[in-house]
Amino acid sequence: MTNKRVRIGSRGSELALWQARWIQRALLEHHPGLEITIDIIKTKGDKILDSPLSRIGDKGLFTREIEQALLRGMIDVAVHSLKDLPTELPQGLTIGAICEREDVRDVFVPHSSNPIRTLSGQPRGATIATGSLRRRCQILHLRPDVAIVDIRGNLNTRIKKLGESRWQGMLLAKAGVLRLGWMHIIGETVGAETVLPAVGQGALGVEIRVGDGGTADLLAPLEHQPTRCATTAERSLLRTLEGGCQVPIGAYARIEGAGSASTLVMDAMVGSLDGRTIVRDRATGAPADAEAVGVRLAGVLLRKGADRILREIRDTETGAHESEG
């Protein structure tokens, strides 16, 4: 029996609510008359804004409280940026739909007083803001002369902080900027060949309870199989590497070609915190073998030196955490 009412759980930022409302509109388009409400749930990541994500070291920073509400039956679906969703879900939950992906790339957003619009064109010693170790690593690999500062908060907060700063600019995910209609702030779209995106970047994941067939049926028209295939490969790689927000890992999978000639292509990287060492490679395979492609590419990276990089990062984290305690 199909549900007549759906309660959506979402974070309260402008972007998170845009995503929840997009799912709401999409559901209503396919199921007119469905009653849909949106409940705002504050997560740990929304509450702790004075520490870098890498220092908090929690893979469920932006999802756990919403998932708990879902498990308790307080909501029926949880809408997430897929890049925030850990690769291991709590028992009893599953991803009911992965929607068509927005642009996966990052963008450089210059300070309003900075006439140089591109990341590569910034002067020596320029200060660039990012809250991502993945971006930090790849920027420093390309431009070891720049200074990287950490920035936290939702998109609105980050834009405000940039305006109040003396930084030359910052990097953001293009998907969020486009969804909020802020194309005018983009100085440059940074190609994936320059800075690989985060696993799942640009995609929305809709989480539901295992066994909730009614909600699964409602979500079925929102599923985008090519995006599911690509992000399955990326999440498989991340799971194999046991990475999280505290590890510089980037990946971009996509389907090239059509029909029986289609091929899944994935690029991925693991880098050191200072950007001096980056291990990068590519794997291809059949779209139906997405999970295996991710595992295989992770193995290639580990054999090429990613195992040493990851071990050094985790040893550094352990030491830092112990000294703080």
Measured distance CA(86)–CA(63) in Å, rounded: 8
User: Comparing C-alpha atoms, which of 50, 62, 156 is closest to residue 109?
Assistant: 156
List beta partners, residue 129: 149, 170
Using the 8-state DSSP alphabet, how is residue 65 labeled? Answer: H
Q: Report pTM.
A: 0.90
Closest by CA position to 152, among listed 176, 182, 173, 132 = 132
H-assigned helices in the chain: 14-30, 44-47, 53-56, 64-71, 133-142, 155-164, 174-179, 213-219, 225-241, 290-301, 307-324
In this structure, how many other beta carbons lie within 10 angstroms of the beta carbon of residue 139? 24
**Looking at the domain assignment, is residue 197 inside a domain?**
no
**Catalytic (active site) residue 106:** no
- Any domain includes 12: yes
The answer on 127 and 50 residing in a single domain is no
In sequence order, what DSSP letters do the residues of 7-39 get, joined into one string?
Answer: EEEE-SSHHHHHHHHHHHHHHHHHSTT-EEEEE
Is residue 198 in a domain? Answer: no
Q: Which of 46, 76, 84, 106 is catalytic?
A: 84
Both 168 and 242 in one domain: the answer is no
**Torsion angle of the four alpha carbons 113, 118, 119, 121, in this order, in degrees rounded to the nearest 10:** -90
User: What tokens does 286 get?
Assistant: 């059949």
Is residue 237 domain-shared with residue 322, that is, in the same domain? Answer: yes
Tokens representing 156 are 């609105």
Predicted confidence pLDDT, tens digits, the chain (325 residues): 466 899 999 999 999 999 999 999 999 999 999 999 999 998 766 555 444 544 444 556 678 899 999 999 999 999 999 998 999 999 999 999 999 999 999 999 999 999 999 999 999 999 999 989 999 999 999 999 999 999 988 899 999 999 999 999 999 999 999 999 999 999 999 999 999 999 999 999 999 999 999 999 999 999 999 999 999 999 999 999 986 557 899 999 999 998 889 999 999 999 999 999 999 999 999 999 999 999 999 999 999 999 999 999 887 764 332 222 3
78 and 209 together in one domain: yes
229 and 310 belong to one structural domain: yes
Question: For position 297, which CATH number holds?
Answer: 3.30.160.40
Which pLDDT score is estimated for 88? 93
Q: What angle do CA 235, 282, 141 make, to 5 degrees?
A: 90
Measured CA distances, 193 to 57, 72, 105, 167, 322 (Å): 28, 43, 10, 25, 37
Question: Are both 228 and 325 inside the same structural domain?
Answer: yes
What 3-state DSSP class applies to 315? Answer: helix
91 and 50 fall within a common domain: yes
Task: Quickly count: other Cβ atoms within 10 Å of residue 55's Cβ.
Answer: 15
CA–CA separation, 187 vs 151, rounded Å? Answer: 19
Q: For 112-145, how does the pLDDT look when each residue is reduced to its tens digit (9 = 90+)?
A: 999 999 999 999 999 999 989 999 999 999 999 9
- Are residues 134 and 148 both part of a single domain? yes
- If one counts the domains in the chain, the total is 3
Whether residue 155 is found in the same domain as residue 231: no
Inside any domain, residue 199: no
Range of the domain at 163: 106-190
89 shares a domain with 218: yes
For the segment 13-40, what is each residue's pLDDT rounded down to a tens digit?
A: 999 999 999 999 999 999 999 999 999 9
- Dihedral sign (CA 75, 81, 86, 87): positive
Indicate whether 166 and 228 sit together in one domain. no
Q: What is the CATH number of the domain that holds 167?
A: 3.40.190.10
160 and 293 both lie in a single domain: no
